[in-house]
Structure 1
Amino acid sequence: MSKDRVLIEGLTILTIIGVYDWEKTIKQKLVLDLEMQWDNIPAGKSDDVSLCLDYFQVSQSITSFVETHKFELIECVAEQVAELIIQQFSVKWLKVKVSKPGAIANAKNVAVIIERSRDRK
Structure 2
Amino acid sequence: MDILFVRELKVDTRIGIYDWERQVKQTVLIDLDIAGDAGAAARTDKVENTINYQTICQRLVAHIAASEVELVETLAEQIADIVRGEFGATWVQVTVHKPAAVRGTRDVGVRIERGSRLP
* TM-score, normalising length: structure 1: 0.93
1:89 partner letter: F
Secondary structure in 2 aligned to 1:23?
helix
RMSD of aligned alpha carbons: 0.9
Partner of 2:83 in structure 1?
A: 85
Matched, 1:64 2:69: no
Please show how residues 92-107 of structure 1 align to structure 2 within 5 Å. 92-107=90-105
Deviation at 1:6, TM superposition (A): 0.4
Partner of 1:51: 49
Shifted more, 10-19 versus 42-51: the winner is: 42-51
Distance, in Å, in 1 between the alignment partners of 2:18 and 2:60 is 24
Aligned to 1:113: 111
- Percent identical among aligned pairs is 33
Shift of 1:29: 0.6
After TM superposition, which residue ranges in structure 1, 4 or more long, deviate above 2 angstroms? none
Do structure 1's residue 29 and structure 2's residue 27 form an aligned pair? yes
Paired position in structure 2 for 1:40:
38
The count of aligned residue pairs is 116
Deviation track 1:35-81 (CA, whole Å, cap 9, x = no partner) reads: 00010000111112210111000000110000001010000000010
